[in-house]
Chains A and B, each alone.
Chain A
C-alpha cells in the first residue's frame, strides 16, 4: 500500500494518453483522481500487482487485476505494505519441462523397438522398392559384375544358406559390384550387395559363405528396413530436441546413434550366421578366418573404438565364432571350378 497522497501518471488502457493524477490511500485500496480532483478509478488492494520499478529508478509501476490494460506510475513512492508480486513461481513450467524431457528420453529408448515393429508391418513389396532404389543408386556409381558361371555359383550358395530363413524372405537378390571395399551390405527387401574387394580378400569359399550367412540373417530379421526407419526417427528426435531443422544436427546424431544401435544387430547377425551355416552343412571356421583377415587389414586395431564403430571389434567377433564352432570336418561350400568363377566374376584373373 502507498504511504500517503502521491502524484503519478495514469494510462487507462483504452488510449495511449498519459494523465497526471493524484493518489489517495483508502482503507482497502487506492483512489486515482485527476489533477482537477475528478475520480478516475478505485483500485482494490487485493487486485494490485507490483510491476516493479520504473527503469532508471524514478518511480514504481502498478497494475490492477480488474483492469489488465491500465497502468499506473507512482512518482517517488515506497510500498509500506507488500502487494502481490508479479511473476510468482509456477510449478507448471518445471513440470511441463520434466514431462517433455521424459517423453524425449522415452522415445529415444523405445526407438529401436518401435522401428523394428514398424519394419515388420511394412509390406514386402514396399521394402523391395526401397532396396531396389538404393541398389540402383549403387549400380549407377559402380560397375555391376556378371558372368553366367560366377552368378550361378553365387546363387546356389545363397539359396543353400537362405533355406534357413522364413519362406517369404528366401528370394534373395545378390549383386556383385566392382569396388575395392572389403565389405558386403544387406539392403531392405532382400537385396545383398557384395563388393569385389571382399571376393579378392576371401581365401576360400567358406569365408565368403560366412559373410553371406551374416548378411542373410540381416535380411531375415529385417534389419535394413528397421535401420532406415530408425535413422529417420533419430533425425526427427534430434530436430525436436535442438530445434535445428537444417539437418546438420539430425544427420550427425543419426550417424552416431546408428553406430550405437546397430552393434546389437551385428552381434545378432553373427549368431544367426552360425545357425544358417550349420543348417546348410558349411563349417564356421572360414567365417572366423575372415574376421582375422579383416583385423590384419585394419592394422590390428580398428580406427574407431568399438562403441563408435558400427561393427563390434573384429577380434572379439572371431573369438565368439570360434567359441561356437562346429567341430565336424565338412566339405568346402563351393567346388574349385565354382570358386574360381566367383573370384573372377569382375573379370580379374585369380
Chain B
C-alpha cells in the first residue's frame, strides 16, 4: 500500500524534555501555593508546550484553550453534576444503613450512572481539546453525541465479563471508529473503517497467556496456603517467589499484550483516511513496551508530578510513527462554523480527578 504513492512522515515533535520538566515542577509549586486551584492553568501551560512542539508539513500546531475555561467548566460540573450526585449517594447510603432495599437499588443505578457520566465527560473533553487545536489557523472539532458514545462504552463494558473479555478488540475498535469518524479538521471529517479481522489471533495469544499465568499463580497460592495450614507456619521459601512471579508477569503478560496493542494501533491508523490521504503507524511491540515501561516508571517515581513528561513522550512517539500516504487537498478544507464549547472538561475534571497531566 505504501508503494503506490510515496508515504511521508509529516509530523515532527520539537519539544525539549528539560523545558517540560521545568513546567511540571513550577506547576507543582504553584498548585501547592494555591491549594491546587492553579492546576487548570498549569494543565493549559503543559498543553501549549505539547501542542506547539508539533509541526505537520512544517507548520506548527497551536493550542488555544485557557485555564479560565477549564476552571469555569470545573465549577459548572461541580454544581450541576457533582453536588446532586453526592446528594443522591448520601441518600442511598443512609437508606442502606437503615436496611431499606431501595438504597441498594439506588446504588446499583448510581454506580453505572457515574461510569456513564465519566465516559460522556471524556468524550466532551475531547471535543473541547479538538476545538482548541489549530493548524494553519483552522480549528479541529468533534461531532457526534457524548451520550451516544457513553452508551456504546457502557455496552462494551457490560459485554466484557459476559464474553470473558473476548468482546474487547471489537469493542475497543468500535469506540475508536466512533471517535475518529467524528473527528474533524475545518469542515472535513476523518474517516475510519478499521476492522478487527487480523487482531483476534494476537488477542487470543495474549488472552491465553494471561489466563494461564493467573491460573498458575492462584494454584501456587492455594498450594502454599494449604502447606502452611498443615505445618502451621508460612513456608520461608515462598517469600523469594514473589519477585520471580512479578518478573514472570512482565514477561508472560506484558509481551503478548504489547504485541496485541501494537497490532491494534497499526490497524486503527491504517484504517483512517482524511481527504484522500491514508494514515499508517509503524508501531512495533518492542518500542511500545519501552514507551509504556518508561512512562510507568516516570509516573511511579515522581508520584505523578512528571506526568507532563509522560505526555511529551507519547506525543513524540506518535509523531515518530505516524506516516501519511498522499497529501490531503488542504486548499479545499474550509474553516468549520463550530467554535466548540465555551468551557472545558468540567465533567471529567470533577468526576475523575486523576485526569490527563
Contact = CB atoms under 8 A, between A and B. Distances in A.
A11 B55 CA distance: 15
B72 to A, nearest CB: 10
Interface in A10-29: 11-18
Interface in B29-75: 34-39, 41, 52-55, 57-60, 67-68, 71, 74
B186 interface: yes
A136 B34 contact: no
A6 interface: no
Contacts of A330: none
Given A55-B52, A134-B97, A15 B67 contact: no
A15 B35 contact: no
Interface stretch (B2-10, B218-226, B250-258, B330-338): B330-338
22 contacts: A9-B59, A11-B136, A11-B137, A14-B335, A16-B333, A18-B57, A52-B52, A58-B58, A69-B137, A71-B59, A93-B68, A101-B34, A133-B98, A136-B97, A232-B90, A236-B83, A236-B86, A239-B350, A242-B36, A243-B349, A243-B353, A245-B353
B37 A97 contact: yes
Contacts of B60: 54-55, 61
Contacts of B23: none
Given A54-B55, A71-B59, A137-B98, 4 more contacts: A55-B55, A239-B86, A239-B350, A245-B82
Contact of B353 (A55, A96, A130, A246): A246
B115 interface: no
Contacts of A140: 99
A73 B95 CA distance: 64
Contact of B99 (A13, A58, A104, A137): A137
Nearest to A244: B353
Contacts of B137: 11-13, 69-71
A93 B38 CA distance: 9
Contacts of B39: 243
A56 B56 CA distance: 12
A52 to B, nearest CB: 8
A104 B74 CA distance: 15
B351 A245 contact: yes
Interface of B: 12, 14-15, 34-39, 41, 52-55, 57-60, 67-68, 71, 74, 78, 82-83, 86, 90, 94-95, 97-99, 135-138, 185-186, 330-335, 349-355
Nearest to A99: B37
A61 B62 CA distance: 12
A236 B84 CA distance: 11
A240 interface: yes
B335 A101 contact: no
B336 to A, nearest CB: 11
> Which of B94, B186, B354, B355 has the most chain A CB atoms inside 10 A of its CB?
B94
Interface of A: 9, 11-18, 52, 54-56, 58, 61, 69-71, 73, 93, 96-97, 100-101, 104, 130, 132-134, 136-137, 140, 232, 235-236, 239-246, 249
B138 A15 contact: yes
A96 B70 CA distance: 13
Contacts of B97: 133-134, 136-137
A273 to B, nearest CB: 28
> Which of A12, A61, A97, A239 has the most chain B CB atoms inside 10 A of its CB?
A97
Nearest to A130: B94
A203 to B, nearest CB: 34
A97 B53 contact: no
Given A55-B52, A136-B98, A236-B83, A15 B351 contact: no
A243 B98 contact: no
B99 A16 contact: no
B68 A96 contact: yes
A248 B55 CA distance: 40
Contacts of A61: 60
A61 B59 CA distance: 10
A70 B335 CA distance: 11
Contacts of B71: 96
Contacts of A18: 57, 59, 136, 330
A18 B185 CA distance: 15
A13 B349 CA distance: 32
A136 B136 contact: no
A347 B353 CA distance: 51
Contacts of B35: 100-101, 104, 241
A93 B335 contact: no
Given A236-B86, A240-B78, A56 B37 contact: no
Contacts of A239: 78, 82, 86, 350, 353
Contacts of A15: 138, 186, 330-335
Nearest to A68: B137
B344 to A, nearest CB: 14
Contacts of B355: 243
A13 B134 CA distance: 10
Nearest to A132: B98
A13 B335 contact: yes
> Which of A14, A243, A244 has the most chain B CB atoms inside 10 A of its CB?
A243
Contacts of A56: 12, 14, 55
A252 to B, nearest CB: 13
Contacts of A54: 55, 58, 60
Nearest 3 pairs of A and B residues by beta carbon: A244-B353, A133-B98, A55-B14
Contacts of B54: 55
Contacts of A240: 78
Contacts of B352: 245-246
Contacts of B351: 245
Contacts of B334: 14-15
Contacts of B331: 15-17
Nearest to A72: B137
B161 to A, nearest CB: 22
A62 B97 CA distance: 63
Contact of B74 (A55, A232, A235, A243): A243
A100 B138 contact: no
Nearest to B38: A97
A17 B86 CA distance: 50
A16 to B, nearest CB: 4
